[in-house]
Amino acid sequence: MNLRLSLSGWVVAVGFAFGGWAQAPTSAPTTAAKTKEMATVGGGCFWCTEAVFEKLPGVSKVVSGYAGGQAANPTYKEVCTGETGHAEVIQIEFDPTVITYDKLLEVFWHAHDPTTKNRQGGDAGTQYRSIILYHSPEQHAAALRSLELANAREFNGRITTEVVPLVKFYPAEDYHQDYFKNHPDKPYCQAVIAPKLYKLEKKGVVPAAK
């Protein structure tokens, strides 16, 4: 009797153990992982590029920051000297099942002038350079392909955009985040960002404001 009970208990215990192992892998984490990717680009003042990409369906988060240089933990003041090597960039969290990396790059070419080296409008300096920082070999290949197509179709070989691997992204200070959303009446927002968004809306690059 004791032996029979012991064996029964062992079978139940093993059944629970293997049952637990069998049920451990679920599809939810895998699905979540596949529906979130990151992209990092720079095209002048990050207040502008942030405002553009925040309008895109499939983009869940945009963070302004610094990348592409050597200095660790740079501040806005330091980056503005042009001596850190960093550019003002944005890091984009997106759902590739809604918007692809290729589509983000299409918007990127429209969102700034990639033919002006170290300058966007009145903003001049290496920190305002056009740059794509790829996160993977796949993004690297996509960026080079997109650049080649944009050069051939629209920019006549004049693109100056750097395509480099992302080494480290440093988020900018809190007051830079969601700048246009938080300060739509500021002079820079009224004079630069709002007209840019209006132009991109008219072209169908970004959804029109509701």
161 and 28 in contact (C-beta within 8 Å)? no
> CA angle at residue 194 from 190 to 198, to 5 degrees?
145
52 and 111 in contact (C-beta within 8 Å)? yes
CA torsion 117-40-63-109 (nearest 10°) is 50
Q: Which of 45, 48, 80, 189 is catalytic?
A: 45
Radius of gyration over every alpha carbon of the chain, rounded to an integer in angstroms: 23
Q: Per DSSP, what are the bridge partners of residue 62?
A: 92
Active site residue 189: no
| In 35-167, alpha helices (H) | 46-53, 76-80, 101-111, 137-150
**Dihedral pair phi/psi, residue 42, rounded to 5°:** -140, 135
Catalytic (active-site) positions: 45
